[in-house]
Amino acid sequence: MKSHQLVYQILARENDYVSGEKIGEELNLSRTSIWKAIQRLQQEGLEVDSIKNRGYKLTQGDLILPELIQENTNLTIRYKPETKSTQTDAKEGIEAGNKGNTLYLSTCQTAGRGRFQRPYYSPSQGGIYMSLHIQPNLPYEKLPSYTLLVAAAVCKAIKNLTMIEVDIKWVNDIYFKNKKIAGILTEVMTSVETGLVTDVIIGLGINFSIADFPDNLKEKAGSLFMAPAPISRNDLISEIWNCFYNTDSDELLYIYKERSIVLGKEVTFQLDGKFKKGLAKEISESGQLQVELEDKHTIWLNSGEISLTSW
């Protein structure tokens, strides 16, 4: 790791000020090197307080440490501090021949997109933006509902680390205190020769500790934490993918239904160009939503926009 990453790890584990002398002894760095490392951390957006004769204290922010995440997850991590889109990075990685179980990770996206190609707000500080590439090589009809599984893994990871309960809006949004804090975008690639789904890219954006949002998002978007956060982004990233890989799919589906804010609620949706209303009754293993219409007929929705008429 680089000097500023090593200095960050020391500051992150301490609750009080740490002297430059103590940091220097532990890392075998000169005071000048430590000072430069502190400057680098501040340039990265972290807030580090400094008091003469007491040392340094991390007061806000954290630093993404790709090597630590790779060690904790056994995934191959490909990290860019800033990127156009981690989904694009993953697609370029597939074209370059990169294998599955690779996580493309960034702290800032300049052209992030959600479902229906909507812009995805990705500021330079406080967010997590990542895309997991996996290679299932399965027929489409046998493909697990990765969107559901990842959404449940996010819920489980957050609860494991913080005891905070977050909710899921069908099909791909994570909510906290009635505001969206995360979204999932899953894309698949199929072989023309075999008809098998060869590659899947699961994109995940999380508002980890974002203090402010544009005016058009303030009423809709929220953040998991307000500063200071009790855990780091490294902790959450690692826990999400460990939950995804190491939790039985039946358990994840159960969590998805348990944390659903749609099931049992009246929903409105658009079908064949007309707005309809009904009661959300069930979510299938493949991610379909069963809705009982006002005339008591039931239909299954594959995807699309729904909005709750009551919370």
Band (124; pLDDT cuts 50, 70, 90): low
Reported as a single tens digit per residue, the pLDDT across 215-269 is 888 889 999 998 778 999 999 999 999 999 999 999 999 999 999 999 999 999 8
**Measured between alpha carbons, how far is 36 from 49 in angstroms, rounded to an integer?**
14
Reported as a single tens digit per residue, the pLDDT across 90-100 is 999 999 999 99
**Measured between alpha carbons, how far is 254 from 270 in angstroms, rounded to an integer?**
27
Whether 181 contacts 206, CB under 8 Å: yes
Whether 18 contacts 49, CB under 8 Å: no
Query: Which residues does the annotation place in the binding site?
Result: 109, 113-115, 180
Query: Which residues does the annotation place in the binding site for biotin?
Result: 109, 113-115, 180
Domain annotation for the chain: domains and CATH numbers: 3-60 (1.10.10.10), 66-259 (3.30.930.10), 265-308 (2.30.30.100)
pTM above 0.85, yes or no: yes
